[in-house]
Amino acid sequence: MPIFFLNQNDIPTHYYNVLPDLPKPLPPPLHPATKKPLQPTDLAPLFPRALIQQEMAQEREIEIPEEVRRAYQLYRPSPLIRARRLEIELDTPAKIYYKYEGVSPTGSHKPNTALPQAYYNRQAGVRRLTTETGAGQWGSALSFACNYFGLACTVYMVKSSYAGKPYRRVMMNLFGAECIPSPSPRTEAGKKVLAQDPETPGSLGTAISEAVEDAAKHDDTKYALGSVLNHVLLHQTIIGLEAKKQMEMAGDEPDIIIGCHGGGSNFAGIALPFLRDKLSGKRPKLRAIAAEPKSCPSLTEGRYEYDFGDTVGLTPLLLMYTLGHDFTPPAIHAGGLRYHGAAPIVSLLHKEKIIEAVAYDQQEIFSAAMAFAKNQGIVPAPESAHAIKAVFDEAERCKQAGAAKTILFNLSGHGHFDMGAYQDFLAGNIH
């Protein structure tokens, strides 16, 4: 099982910004009240100036601050692994590689953006950050990053995950963050949702509403988002930039790139640096596949239209694939993928048929996750298991066609805090 390691001097010095390479300009976000194109000053109550500039930047490369690169050295570069044993088990001519982001301090790819967001906020004199989290991967990552850079942190965690994934909230508390089940009576947004449905399992959209409201009411507080927005996807390109170097070390290049999809950050992180070659015409046949849950199928069944990023309507309107901002998905175990919309960048690429999307149900992805764990020794997060299922499907297609394609996927995190979900699967209680 070849493993391709970079040394810490190989950590990228710049992020890749896809905005100038998109097939058409990204439509602007709209002000939630006026419905007119958003101005940079409209975002000032929520984000520091540096992140607002990154959100709209047109330079292809954005420098990574040296202090952030030093923080990345806690876990980066992450390994690229060729799964030869899996190729044999699947009896496929395909070559399968995975970039393993579960080596981060909190076990997922989320610190890649949490660290720079905390850094830029500290530089701007912010005292506290608020955010939302689904499965808890983003909440624990931001808690870790805030602790690293000396900020307070408040996390609104979707209620079904707050109850079902207790060790994620314990991790947040360990790093000094406050974790609140959402919807909560702490905010007007939370009170409104609870009044409509006291037994609601919650949603990421509702948790976003609460976190945004909290930040807007306090002068010393800003808001941090773990997916969807341009600057978040920008930070995650460190995954694909490292993977490009590692694929060169392997003497190979991917024909198919796969990532699970909720809001779009980890899929974009692995795919965008490679898609640069497709967008330029250098590799027109390169495929990129986003794998999402059937219970929350924003790309495969959503509408491409302007919609709010949150449930109550406090955030800017984004042109994206959406199931509707009032959509409450079932309380599936892949809590990190329970979001009604998709990143505008990913949405545009899907609309222009630059990327593909597939959707799976829980039983399919847990079966794939179990097979992968037994073969590779890594228990994947339920979110990542969607990508694994897509890899299995593509490997089978290669087998049927006799095509020796190279498949690269992002194993975005481990499932050590998801043993309750695996216990349910083993007991036959996953539906």
* Per-residue model confidence as pLDDT tens digits over 22-37: 999 999 999 999 999 9
Name which of 73-87, 329-343, 402-416 the model is least confident about.
329-343
3-class DSSP assignment, residue 3: strand
Task: Give DSSP secondary structure letters for 13-38.
Answer: SEEE--GGGSSSPPPPPB-TTT-SBP
* Per-residue model confidence as pLDDT tens digits over 40-88: 999 999 999 999 999 999 999 999 999 999 999 999 999 999 999 999 9
How much of the chain, in percent, has pLDDT values that exceed 90? 83
d(CA 372, CA 218): 46
Name which of 31-35, 134-138, 152-156 the model is least confident about.
134-138
Tokens representing 247 are: 């694929």
Question: What would the mean pLDDT of 206-218 be, rounded to a whole number?
Answer: 92
pLDDT band at residue 331 under the 50/70/90 scheme? low
pLDDT score recorded for residue 259:
98
Look at residue 273 and tell me whether its pLDDT is greater than 90: yes
Question: What would the mean pLDDT of 167-174 be, rounded to a whole number?
Answer: 94
Tell me: domain 3-8+66-107+230-426, CATH 3.20.20.70, correct?
no
Q: Where are the beta strands (DSSP E) in 271-378?
A: 287-293, 303-308, 317-322, 356-360
Look at residue 411 and tell me whether its pLDDT is greater than 60: yes
* Per-residue model confidence as pLDDT tens digits over 353-381: 999 999 999 999 999 999 999 999 999 99
Among residues 157, 145, 64, 153, which one has the least CA distance to residue 110? 145
Look at residue 332 and tell me whether its pLDDT is greater than 70: no
Instruction: Look over the chain and give the mean of its residue pLDDT values, rounded to a whole number.
Output: 94
Look at residue 343 and tell me whether its pLDDT is greater than 90: yes
Alpha helices (H) along 197-286: 204-216, 230-249, 265-279
